[in-house]
């Protein structure tokens, strides 16, 4: 029964991960997780075209780029196919964890470990991102599996297992440098195999060492021939050490926001040992996700925990548990239980040592929650040990204890699922600081940070709440209390934002004026496109606002009546580009000496928004020019998920119009999508260094009252100069 339950959970999780990756089919990453995705993508495609490894720069490890190029070669260059492959790698890792858990611990712990991996938010999100994390996690786990299994039972396939594990380990090292820290531990595994003779152990260790060190030697020699420098894997090491250890360091990557102080690297460590120790503690917090960096992922279970406690546990605490505090505690408990138990110590002893060795690299260098992903399957295996132990203790107790535990679980689960989905949040600046006092522009804002905008010493304070804090869909967001000194007039600007494919889009904006002291409340409506995280940005426009203690309340509501406030509605007849209504899929506004400026549609899907419900027919009018290098270009115009027309776009500037039928533009915030047939980058075509995937350039997009073809829903793509 337990096996069938795990198989069902694994299947559902895999389908869910693939569906999530499919939603981001037109992007290289989900949310804002893409760090080096564009570079990986371009280098892999260039490697596929040229067949020469010399196109890979010394700063990047060669392993993942070769793997991605291989996937592109098999699947015709499809990034979506690569993501689906990553989802299957996550499923294979979960299956391996189940198998290893059954053999080393027990069937319950194996099922728990596999389920935790299959449903991991980090692994699920990074499976939809074209980066190294998930493939390296797969390679490291299965290398550990192949090297560990021969110690568990007598088998004639011992030597082939060790050879297979060595090649997997080599591939992981060549894809991610920090895996090298696990090599000494994994070399000890065949050396300590009690089922082998001394000669067999020496032979096994020699084989693993020869394959891994030999492969590294070949890579180093190739790098030396290409650059004249000794580079074992990549050149990142020294720079990462300096980023993580300098007077301005905060434990994770923040150099683009605050710069790098001096001294840095080893001189800083030698001269500031106490500060280095404190930074190490912060790096541990970032590694497990306890401290929120820019590459963590939404954890809806945080809201579940808050509801399940009937509000007794503050949301900030429940979110802290969901992001990583619980994982860190269970990992420590699991490592303790493994090393304490003679039975577990004899089988699983390498797992906590691998986790510790991998983590130690980031405690010295630079840390982030995404850096934990390569060892995350092993971390979750350790988490399954204390959880399984606790469940066994409860199940072995009397019927009263069992009944109480089952009843408590039912009540907690019911509360977490069924309670009113609203939460009152007391936000403090120090809870959101990452990194301190970032100087970034609006377009670079990422959830969960305190920012300063515009750049400069007189910057205004911004709070940008994590997406877990607000529900999706229709809703209201209220600001409670006055954050201003008594007797002082001040003004706040509140902007509701949604994130799609890492791009931040404005969905409504309002200003709130405080006169003197006292209680004020703003209830501003918002509408988010389906499944997009919504965030609230608060900016001090005038007055000495102290936003550290501001409180938010977000509530999902089915009542859509009266959600549109004229104060935050866009003027429908305005050019939607100049009104700032562009969502995902647009470049910056460029000056082509045309009246309204020009924006490129990037990729195959580009979105616009305009607010104000009206049941009358409308006319969507726009001027566009197809990117001449793509050949024949077509655009499908979709309004509120309904296809209106498919038009052929000319490389010449022309006007087009499409009729929006009556009764369709009735949402508080209406969604317009331009879905293009093809998009290519000048870089791919060897035209210029521009790596943006261009589909067409748009000069203006307007929604006008009425429609000549009223009632039919379509107007042909005629030339319109309005």
How far is the CA of 579 from the CAs of 30, 509, 701, in angstroms? 26, 12, 10
Of 23-37, 98-112, 490-504, the poorest mean pLDDT is in: 490-504
Q: Give the whole-number percent of the chain exceeding pLDDT 90.
A: 34
Closest C-alpha to 114, from 15, 19, 22, 2:
2
Instruction: Decide if pLDDT at 480 tops 70.
Output: no
Among 522-531, 592-601, 681-690, the minimum mean pLDDT is found in 522-531
- Tell me how far apart the 2 most distant CA atoms of the chain are, in Å: 89
pLDDT confidence bin for 421, thresholds 50/70/90: very low
In this predicted model, what pLDDT tens digit does every residue of 250-265 receive, in sequence order? 888 877 556 678 888 9
User: Residue 581 pLDDT more than 80?
Assistant: no
Element (H, E) at 119: none
Asked whether the predicted pLDDT for residue 525 surpasses 60, the reply is: no
**What CA–CA distance (Å, rounded) separates 126 from 132?**
9
What tens digit of pLDDT does each residue of 494-521 get? 555 554 444 444 545 555 554 443 333 3
Instruction: Choose between 76 and 412: higher pLDDT.
Output: 76
Q: Predicted confidence band at 83 (pLDDT cuts at 50, 70, 90)?
A: very high
Question: CA angle 666-670-676, nearest 5°?
Answer: 135
Burial 442-461 (b: 16+ CB within 10 A, else e): beebbbbbbbbbeeeeeebb
Question: What pLDDT is attached to residue 418?
Answer: 53
pLDDT above 60: residue 404 = yes
- Would you say residue 99 has pLDDT above 50? yes
Question: In this model, does residue 410 exceed pLDDT 80?
Answer: no
Q: What pLDDT does 553 receive? A: 40
Could you tell me the domains of the chain? Answer: 235-419 (no CATH), 422-556 (2.60.120), 569-722 (2.60.120.260)
Is pLDDT above 60 for 555? Answer: no
Q: State how beta strands 449-453 and 599-602 pair.
A: unpaired
Cα dihedral across residues 331, 336, 339, 341: positive or negative: negative
> Other CB atoms closer than 10 Å to residue 615's CB: what's the count?
9
pLDDT over 70 for what percent of the chain? 68
What is the distance, to the nearest Å, from the Cα of residue 238 to the centroid of all Cα atoms in its chain? Answer: 26
pLDDT at 712 over 70: no
Please state the rounded mean pLDDT for residues 647-655: 90
CB-CB contact of 546 with 484 (8 Å): yes
Q: Does 447 score more than 50 pLDDT? A: no
Reported in sequence order, the residue ranges of 419-502 that DSSP labels E, i.e. its strands, are: 422-426, 438-439, 449-453, 460-464, 474-480, 490-500
What is the rounded average pLDDT of the residues 66-72?
A: 94
Q: What's the start-to-end Cα distance of the chain, in Å?
A: 68
Whether pLDDT at 465 is above 50: no
Output the average pLDDT for the chain.
75
Q: How many other C-beta atoms can be found within 10 angstroms of the C-beta atom of residue 646?
A: 15
Which of 80-89, 189-198, 545-554, 558-567: highest mean pLDDT? 80-89
Sign of CA dihedral 387, 391, 392, 394: positive
Q: Which pLDDT value is given to residue 68?
A: 95
Average pLDDT over residues 448-454: 34
Q: For residue 667, what pLDDT band results from cuts at 50, 70 and 90?
A: low
**Mean pLDDT, residues 595-608 taken together:** 76
Contact 293, 33 (CB under 8 A): no
Could you give the CA distance from residue 134 to residue 544 in angstroms, rounded to a whole number? 46
Residue 647 is predicted with a pLDDT of 93
pLDDT classification of 721: cutoffs 50, 70, 90:
very low
For 211, phi then psi, to 5°, come to -70, -45
Which is more confident, 612 or 316?
316
Mean pLDDT value across residues 557-578: 32
Query: 639 in helix, strand or coil?
Result: strand
Strands (E) in 370-448, as ranges, are 422-426, 438-439
Asked if 438 and 455 count as a contact pair (C-beta separation under 8 A), the reply is no
Check whether 321 has a pLDDT greater than 70: yes
The mean pLDDT of 454-480, rounded to a whole number, is: 38
Q: Which among 269-278, 422-431, 605-614 has the top mean pLDDT?
A: 269-278
Strands 438-439 and 449-453: parallel
Please tell me the predicted confidence (pLDDT) of residue 334.
95
Using the predicted structure, report yes or no on whether residue 340 has a pLDDT greater than 70: yes
Rounded average pLDDT over 256-279:
86
């Amino acid at each position: 029964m337990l096996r069938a339950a795990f198989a069902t959970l694994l299947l559902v999780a895999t389908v869910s991960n693939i569906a999530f990756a499919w939603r981001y089919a037109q992007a290289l990453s989900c949310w804002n997780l893409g760090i080096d995705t564009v570079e990986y993508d371009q280098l892999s495609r260039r490697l596929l075209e040229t067949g020469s490894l010399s196109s890979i720069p010394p700063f990047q490890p060669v392993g993942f780029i070769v793997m991605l190029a291989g996937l592109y070669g098999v699947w015709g260059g499809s990034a979506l196919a690569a993501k689906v492959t990553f989802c299957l790698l996550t499923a294979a890792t979960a299956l391996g964890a189940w198998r290893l858990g059954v053999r080393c611990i027990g069937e319950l712990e194996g099922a728990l470990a596999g389920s935790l991996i299959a449903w991991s938010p980090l692994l699920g999100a990074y499976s939809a991102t074209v980066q190294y994390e998930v493939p390296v996690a797969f390679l490291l786990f299965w290398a550990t599996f192949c090297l560990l299994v021969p110690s568990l039972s007598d088998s004639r396939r011992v030597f082939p297992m060790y050879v297979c594990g060595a090649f997997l380990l080599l591939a992981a090292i060549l894809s991610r440098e920090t895996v090298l820290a696990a090599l000494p531990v994994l070399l000890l595994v065949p050396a300590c195999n009690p089922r082998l003779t001394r000669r067999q152990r020496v032979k096994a260790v020699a084989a693993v060492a020869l394959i891994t060190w030999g492969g590294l030697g070949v890579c180093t020699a190739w790098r030396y021939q290409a650059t004249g420098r000794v580079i074992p894997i990549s050149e990142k090491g020294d720079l990462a050490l300096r980023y993580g250890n300098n007077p301005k360091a905060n434990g994770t990557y923040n150099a683009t926001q605050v710069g790098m102080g001096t001294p840095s690297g080893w001189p800083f460590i030698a001269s500031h040992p106490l500060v280095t120790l404190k930074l190490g503690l912060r790096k541990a917090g970032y590694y497990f996700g306890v401290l929120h960096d820019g590459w963590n992922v939404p954890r809806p279970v945080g809201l579940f925990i808050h509801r399940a406690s009937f509000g007794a546990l503050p949301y900030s605490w429940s979110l802290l548990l969901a992001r990583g505090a619980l994982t860190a505690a269970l990992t420590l408990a699991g490592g303790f239980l493994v090393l304490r138990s003679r039975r577990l110590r004899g089988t699983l002893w390498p797992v906590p040592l691998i986790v510790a060795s991998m983590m130690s690299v980031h405690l010295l260098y630079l840390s982030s929650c995404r850096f934990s992903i390569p060892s995350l399957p092993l971390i979750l295996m350790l988490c399954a040990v204390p959880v399984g132990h606790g469940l066994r203790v409860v199940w072995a107790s009397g019927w009263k204890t069992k009944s109480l535990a089952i009843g408590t679980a039912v009540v907690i689960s019911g509360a977490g699922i069924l309670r009113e989905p609203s939460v009152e949040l007391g936000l403090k600046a120090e809870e959101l600081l990452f990194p301190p006092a970032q100087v970034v522009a609006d377009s670079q804002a990422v959830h969960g940070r305190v920012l300063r905008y515009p750049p400069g010493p007189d910057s205004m304070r911004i709070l940008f709440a994590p997406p877990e804090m607000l529900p999706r869909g229709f809703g209201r967001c209220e600001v409670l209390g006055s954050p201003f000194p008594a007797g002082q007039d001040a003004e706040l600007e509140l902007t509701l934002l949604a994130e799609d494919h890492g791009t931040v889009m404005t969905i409504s904006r309002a200003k709130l004026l405080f006169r003197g002291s006292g209680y004020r409340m703003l209830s501003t409506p918002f509408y988010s496109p389906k499944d997009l995280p919504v965030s609230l940005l608060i900016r001090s426009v005038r007055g000495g606002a102290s936003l550290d203690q501001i409180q938010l309340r977000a509530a999902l509501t089915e009542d859509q009546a009266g959600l549109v406030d004229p104060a935050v509605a866009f003027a429908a007849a305005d050019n939607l580009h100049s009104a700032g209504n562009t969502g995902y899929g647009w470049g910056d506004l460029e000056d082509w000496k045309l009246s309204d400026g020009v924006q490129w549609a990037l990729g195959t899907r580009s979105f616009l928004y305009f607010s104000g419900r009206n049941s009358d027919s409308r006319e969507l009018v726009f001027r566009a020019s197809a990117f001449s290098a793509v050949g024949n270009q077509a655009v499908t115009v979709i309004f509120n998920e309904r296809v209106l027309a498919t038009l052929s776009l000319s490389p010449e500037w022309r006007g087009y119009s499409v009729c929006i039928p009556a009764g369709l533009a009735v949402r508080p915030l209406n969604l317009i999508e331009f879905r293009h047939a093809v998009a290519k980058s000048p870089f791919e075509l060897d035209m210029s260094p521009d790596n943006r995937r261009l589909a067409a350039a748009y000069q203006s997009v307007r929604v006008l009252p009425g429609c000549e073809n009223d009632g039919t829903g379509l107007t042909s793509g005629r030339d319109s100069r309005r």
